[in-house]
């Protein structure tokens, strides 16, 4: 799935991969789908992605999408709040992938493309920087987002941990 920004640029927002699995119970083949959330990081000039769902379901699509192969999806009306965004991102199927994702050899594996070009991690939003950062501490983040060992979560401008300040979180981490 894609999201068209105010400048007309299509950004990848999620990937659903169809899976085939043989049941251990009855030996039959069942189809499932693994879902990945995808966010663009301006700071890292890269997509941040992580698996967010898995199961035996047909994905529901609300927005701009591309389907490769025989994967099926159920279309739903766009649910964005801003009327202009809703119109810009009305539910519709793309005939081909945006140029940035095409490899010239048929349909690329978008998950493989993300693994080669992106950052595998949950994304953390900083409302001050108005940007996404990897939650994985091995990646650099802005000064407004940090890991709180006491709460075992990221402390962000919109969801601060109960510690008095960042140094208190750092003190806990050092002990």
Asked if the structure places residue 114 within a domain, the reply is yes
Instruction: Name the domain count of the chain.
Output: 2
Q: Are strands 10-12 and 92-93 parallel, antiparallel or unpaired?
A: unpaired
- Residue 157 domain boundaries: 145-175
Establish if 42 belongs to a structural domain: yes
Both 90 and 150 in one domain: the answer is no
User: Per-residue pLDDT tens for 18-58?
Assistant: 777 787 888 888 777 788 999 999 999 999 999 998 876 66
89 and 168 within one domain = no
Residues 30, 110 within the same domain: yes
Q: What residues of the chain score a pLDDT lower than 50?
A: 173-175
Angle at 103 between CA 74 and CA 37, to 5 degrees: 40
- The answer to whether position 133 is within a domain reads no
Q: Does residue 139 belong to any structural domain of this protein?
A: no
Which helix (H) or strand (E) covers residue 74, if one does?
strand 74-75
3-class state of residue 5 by DSSP: coil
164 close to 148: Cβ distance less than 8 angstroms? no
pLDDT recorded at residue 130: 95
Query: Are residues 20 and 72 both part of a single domain?
Result: yes
User: pTM to 2 decimals?
Assistant: 0.81
From CA 106, how far away is CA 60, in angstroms rounded? Answer: 24
């Amino acid at each position: 799935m894609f999201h068209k920004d105010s400048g007309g640029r299509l950004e990848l927002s999620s990937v659903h991969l169809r899976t085939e699995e043989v049941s251990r119970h009855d030996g039959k083949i069942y189809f499932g789908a693994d879902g990945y959330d995808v966010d663009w990081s301006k700071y890292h000039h890269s997509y941040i992605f992580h698996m967010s769902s898995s199961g035996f379901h047909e994905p529901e699509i609300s927005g701009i999408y591309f389907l490769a192969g025989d994967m099926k999806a159920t279309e739903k009306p766009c649910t964005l709040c801003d009327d202009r965004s809703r119109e810009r991102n009305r539910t519709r199927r793309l005939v081909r992938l945006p140029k940035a994702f095409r490899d010239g050899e048929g349909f690329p594996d978008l998950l493989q493309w993300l693994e080669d070009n992106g950052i595998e991690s949950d994304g953390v939003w900083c409302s001050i920087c108005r940007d996404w950062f990897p939650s994985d501490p091995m990646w650099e983040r802005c000064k407004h987002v940090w890991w709180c060992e006491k709460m075992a979560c990221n402390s962000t401008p919109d969801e601060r941990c109960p510690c008095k300040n960042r140094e208190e979180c750092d003190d806990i981490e050092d002990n």
